[in-house]
Amino acid sequence: MTASLSLSEVASFKNELQRLLEQLQTEVGEELEQQVHPDINQSTVHDTGDDAEASVELMLSVETLARHSDEVAECLAALKRIETGDFGCCTDCGEEIELSRLKACPTASRCIRCQSVHETGLQQSA
Ligand SMILES: [Zn+2]
């Protein structure tokens, strides 16, 4: 099943996804920078208290990464689907994903129907 997206539509989605990916990478980088090095001028004291704070900061960094990593993974997966020509097709049923849905969410990998089934399943298993 091939989506009936035009080459220019696919190209614009690709640009959008790459822009989104760069934005996410910048955000993650900035957040990590702030958390690992909150203020270099203040960290002149080296005692055990500082070590404890440092590990808390590191944990926050991991949480930040985890929060963004899903979005990054979705962007990469969508770009991969553009490469393989699967972009715009639902990964579950293989039908075309609505263009309006893709425009609102270029990383969407399922059509609205399968997405709602997927989310209902998640809620039931939770
Ligand atoms: Zn579907």
Instruction: Give 58-97 pLDDT, tens digit per residue.
Output: 776 777 778 888 889 999 999 999 999 999 999 999 999 9
Q: How far is the CA of 101 from the centre of ligand 1 (A)?
A: 12
d(CA 87, CA 100): 14
Q: What's the mean pLDDT when you consider all of the chain?
A: 84
d(CA 79, CA 116): 23
Q: How far is the CA of 116 from the centre of ligand 1 (A)?
A: 9
Q: How far is the CA of 7 from the centre of ligand 1 (A)?
A: 22
Q: How far is the CA of 42 from the centre of ligand 1 (A)?
A: 53
Residues, CB within 5 angstroms of ligand 1 (ion): 90, 92-93, 111, 114
- What would be the CATH architecture of the domain defined by 7-125? Up-down Bundle (1.20)
Tokens standing for residue 7:
């080459």
Query: What's the Rg (C-alpha) of the chain?
Result: 20
**Phi and psi at residue 5, to the nearest 5°:** -80, 140
Q: How far is the CA of 96 from the centre of ligand 1 (A)?
A: 8
* Mean of pLDDT values over 31-57: 65
pTM of the predicted model, to two decimals? 0.71
Write the DSSP string, the chain.
------HHHHHHHHHHHHHHHHHHHHHHHHHHHHHH-S-GGGTT--SHHHHHHHHHHHHHHHHHHHHHHHHHHHHHHHHHHHHHT-TTB-TTT-PBPPHHHHHH-TT--S-HHHHHHHHHHHHHH-
